[in-house]
Amino acid sequence: MILRNSKLKFLVHLYTLEGAITDTDFNKLSEETKKDLKEITNYSLKRRTGFMARVVKNKELVRTRLATNYGGWMYCDMCNENIGYLCYATYDSLELKYKCNCGNQGSARLDFEDSKIGQDCRDELVTIKNRFCCPKDNEPLITILDKKVASYEMKITCKSCESIYKKMK
């Protein structure tokens, strides 16, 4: 209900703004303009709810710690070194197995109540400032600190396009 109300409010704001900019009474806007504005509303509300707390479904951390419930810095539980950083709002599921430089073999598995199954994608993740990002929408997903781990195997699903990426060392 809250969502519906805020959607309506948002839409009315946009209509009014558009009306003011184009000097049109807001109830005389063209159907096409209204459609555009509706799309913008849907998109931005989707983004906004995406940043709300998410409900974790499966969570399995083996000899690994995570700074918060489902994101932030990841630490090896044996040597306490940080091995990477997991972005909070952009992934749908993560499977990570790694061997830390200290010899520890750790792993992390996480997904959410609303996670989609996703489809396998052969594209390579792109690296932007040491963060692996989705090549389709540039969403930042995860950082693995290469110098801290001897090897790793990872599968991560981008929440926004539902692609599943694989990466290993």
Q: How far is the CB of 14 from Zn ion (least distance, A)?
A: 27
Q: Which is nearer to Zn ion, 28 or 129 (CB)?
A: 129
Q: How far is the CB of 64 from Zn ion (least distance, A)?
A: 9
Q: Which is nearer to Zn ion, 12 or 79 (CB)?
A: 79
Q: How far is the CB of 52 from Zn ion (least distance, A)?
A: 19
Q: Which is nearer to Zn ion, 34 or 99 (CB)?
A: 99
Query: What span, in angstroms and rounded, lies between the C-alpha atoms of 118 and 103?
Result: 32
Give the DSSP per-residue string, 123-139: SPPEEETTEEE-TTT--
Contacts of 102 (CB under 8 A, 6+ apart): 76, 78, 79, 81
Q: Which is nearer to Zn ion, 6 or 119 (CB)?
A: 119
- Centre a 10 Å sphere on the Cβ of residue 34 and count the other Cβ atoms it contains: 16
Residue in the structure block whose two tokens are 């913008």? 40
Q: How far is the CB of 137 from Zn ion (least distance, A)?
A: 4
Query: What span, in angstroms and rounded, lies between the C-alpha atoms of 84 and 65?
Result: 11
Contact set with Zn ion (CB under 5 A) = 76, 78-79, 100, 102, 104, 134, 136-137, 158, 160-161
